[in-house]
Amino acid sequence: MATTVDALLRRATDSLGVLADTATPVEDEWQYVRDLVTVWGGALRAEADARAGHAAPAGAEAAIDRLAAEAASIKDPHRAIDWLSTLPLVALVAVGADPR
């Protein structure tokens, strides 16, 4: 069975949580981190819901795998904060969504 767009975007949402956890030590950016997780997590979930059951485009699974691996490899909290807005954009593009 083909991998679905919603399954991939839910994995991307999990990776967003990993980045947020890594960013937690930066106390003065706590609200910014929460806002990014709220907004981008919501965008990923909305696209996942809208495209539930749709087959993912070629290469999307490999792209999400790479994004998840990158998120898991980040140990610097400030870099994790940078990636909180990067990962969702790349994930949306990988599944053929308009990231606007």
Domain boundaries, the chain: 5-94
- Supply the DSSP symbol for 56: P
The tokens describing 54, both together, are: 């749709």
Percent of the chain at pLDDT above 90?
A: 95
**The predicted structure's pLDDT at residue 90:** 97
Q: Grade residue 1 by pLDDT with cuts at 50, 70 and 90.
A: low
Number of helices (H) and strands (E) in the chain: give both, helices first: 4, 0
State the virtual CA torsion across 4, 9, 11, 12 in degrees, nearest 10.
150
Distance of alpha carbon 87 from alpha carbon 74, whole angstroms? 12
Q: Grade residue 99 by pLDDT with cuts at 50, 70 and 90.
A: confident
Distance of alpha carbon 53 from alpha carbon 55, whole angstroms? 6
**The predicted structure's pLDDT at residue 95:** 98
pTM of the model: 0.94
**The predicted structure's pLDDT at residue 100:** 78
Query: Could you read off the pLDDT of 47-94 as tens digits, one per residue?
Result: 999 999 999 999 999 999 999 999 999 999 999 999 999 999 999 999
Amino acid at 19: L
Q: Which residue has the tokens 């990923």?
A: 44
